[in-house]
Amino acid sequence: MIPAPGTERNRLVATTTGLVLGGLAYVLTLLDYGTNLTRTALQGGLFSAFYDEQGRALLAGHVDVPANSLGIEGFVHDGRTFMYFPPWPAILRLPVLLTTHEYDGRLTLLSMALAWIVFAVMVTKLVWLLLPRLSGVDEVTGGTAVLVALFLAAATGGSFLTFDAGQPWVYHEAYVWAIASVFGGIYWLTRLLYEPTRHATWWLFVFALLSVGSRATEGWAISLAAIALGVWWRWWPRRTATNPLWWRVVLAGAVPLALSIALNEYKFGTVYIFPLQDQVWTFLNEHRREALAANGGGLTGPQFFTTSFMAYLRLDGIRFVGYFPFITLPAHAAPAYGGAFVDQTYRTGSVTSFMPMLMVMFLVSLVAVARPRARRQLALLRLPLLVSVLVTGGVMGYGYYSARYASEFVPAMVLGGAVCTSLLAGAVRRRRGWQAPAVAVLAVGAAFSIVAQMAIGTTMAAFIHRGEPLQRYVQWQHDVSPGAQARLVSQVSGLPTGGNTDDLAIRGDCQSLYLNTGDRYQPWIPVEERDRVLEVSATGQRLRPGRITLLTVTGTVPQSVRVEVSHHQQLRFVAQYGDALATTSWFDLPTTGGVRLGIRNQIGIGFFQFVATPGGPVGFLPSVYFDRDQNSLPALLTLTNSAAGLASLGLRMTELPGLPMPLCDELAREAGIDVGRG
């Protein structure tokens, strides 16, 4: 059939416009509005190198990875350490890992970008596959093109995948690939139902394999659906003839499923579940052990359904504020319902609130597809729609709550959106007066979801990375919404406690600025801290040997920096962390002036850095530490009352004024707080 005039052009314009809008939102969030293609969620790259470790293990001919290489996420089973994430993103890295070590731990962002491309291609192919079948017309008019463009923008830039893009680390890389691969499987399953061919069967197998290789929940849903379809084609009693592809379709699902089971059996001795009692985090965290004990040794079950429903589907799972970025996650972590004893719970946005347009479209599609008298073109979509819903089963019965888990609803929302867009295009063709309202509603819905996902993605990127991105984020809040933070700012003499989400605390005369994250496990994080300089000089008397502690740092073990004087009238600085020591070389005290000890809080890596002039680097001490409950807390550096002790060594110490912090000073001024330093 020859396409109607303008159809191909309109298809191209709609696809390009929609993907550019959605892709721009995703890429800007992924790059955190910069140009660093190897950016990681944490400055030190922690949790961004797991797939590289797995890839190098595969190259060495085994599945287990080096001990301690996965930190708290490692599973120590039968004396070996395994990663619970399936290996597809690690396999994807192999060509790079074979040739160089330069990019180890730095490939996550590029991998997530590639996953988005796969997802975008599959979404685009699906909507154009459905459009003529569900709308009843082959021609793509300008109005239809606008509807499709708005849907593509919302699907590729207004879903929780854009939130995931804000943090390039293993948790979100796994999710982006899982959603991309399962949606590819949904497309080829739909294509197979409409056009049963070997070609579609082969690609269904490929995406089922990618799905089980990215995340088991998604992979099992696709694999089981393929097996069910093949069996139905072979043995459904009402069929007049057996579809000759039935055994190929069964294999397309059974082979990936068998490989997934075999790998999990090899690593953990189980068909599907991984043994949480073997995870390093379980050994460290008492609450995790209590949660396992309360739930029969696992964290899955129907007892979590109500809590999950309220976390991911409640109508008010969003928060609007009067300052940048104006749209945020709820102020508090997802609460437990029905007496459920949950493991960890974080601030979690709901799909209903952050993707309202796609949620409504999904519900419309669900009714249209599931109703008993649905026409055949709609009825054929029951299995793909069921698969998309089954994908969410993992999080609906899992006692751990985080915003990233809302990603599991993306396939259902996007499939429903594609079906509804196609139905809407047909309705608009029949009722021309509906076109303007339909376009307006879709435009508002797409814009809202894109802005909302970018907002929370940017916020969490700053909270997790800290350092310069967090300081920039607070600066944006001040610049975009000047004065709006005044009521949030308070002054404290020590470390801040209590407070509410988004509160800012100024310590002393702008020595430090802290932000309240609303997170129960790391409630306050440092935004910036003024550099400090201590000058140690001679009193004019002869130096006498000895040691004096100059400062201490709070933590779970003793931490301090001291100065020592040798019998040869030389000095050195010593940083102590528990029983570990770091020292400078011995050096002579300058004849004029004194020796200066510079102190900088490297917030991005969570350490105080000490450098002596002369003397050189002294060492590092944690500026953030984990308490006995594994909560992350900022450390407080305090100068000791060492004047008398230093005098006994023939020394004295003065603190030189540090550089001002303009952001903190401006926030204090707007809040009416006096931080004058004379």
Residues 605-615: tens digit of each pLDDT: 999 999 999 99
Distance CA 369, CA 318 (A): 29
Q: Are strands 512-516 and 504-507 parallel, antiparallel or unpaired?
A: antiparallel
List of long-range contacts for 229-237, beta carbons under 8 Å, 24+ apart: 229/189, 229/192, 229/193, 229/253, 229/383
Select from 569, 529, 567, 574 the least CA-distant residue to 550: 574
162-219: pLDDT as tens digits: 999 999 999 999 999 999 999 999 999 999 999 999 999 999 999 999 999 999 999 9
Cα 566 to the center of its chain, rounded Å: 51
Query: What is the arithmetic mean of pLDDT over 524-528?
Result: 97
pLDDT at 238 > cutoff 80 = no
pLDDT at 1 > cutoff 50 = no
Query: What is the arithmetic mean of pLDDT over 439-459?
Result: 98
Query: What is the arithmetic mean of pLDDT over 317-340?
Result: 97
Contact indicator for 111, 177 with CB cutoff of 8 Å = yes
Using pLDDT thresholds of 50, 70 and 90, give the confidence band for residue 541.
Answer: confident
Distance CA 368, CA 362 (A): 10
Distance CA 614, CA 572 (A): 10
pLDDT at 677 > cutoff 80 = no
Using pLDDT thresholds of 50, 70 and 90, give the confidence band for residue 678.
Answer: very low
Q: What's the predicted TM-score (pTM) here?
A: 0.95
Query: What is the arithmetic mean of pLDDT over 651-658?
Result: 93
Q: Are strands 489-492 and 504-507 parallel, antiparallel or unpaired?
A: parallel
294-318: pLDDT as tens digits: 999 999 999 999 999 999 999 999 9
Contact indicator for 102, 164 with CB cutoff of 8 Å = no
Select from 20, 24, 12, 5 the least CA-distant residue to 128: 12
Query: What is the arithmetic mean of pLDDT over 84-94?
Result: 97
| Token pair recorded at residue 288 | 């995790």
Query: What is the arithmetic mean of pLDDT over 648-674?
Result: 94
Alpha-helical (H) ranges within 402-434 are 410-430
Compute the mean pLDDT over every residue in the chain, rounded to the nearest whole number.
95
pLDDT at 454 > cutoff 70 = yes
Contact indicator for 651, 538 with CB cutoff of 8 Å = yes
Contact indicator for 610, 602 with CB cutoff of 8 Å = no
* pLDDT of res. 591: 83
pLDDT at 5 > cutoff 70 = no
Contact indicator for 213, 86 with CB cutoff of 8 Å = yes
Residue 537 CA neighbour count, 13 Å, CB half: 11
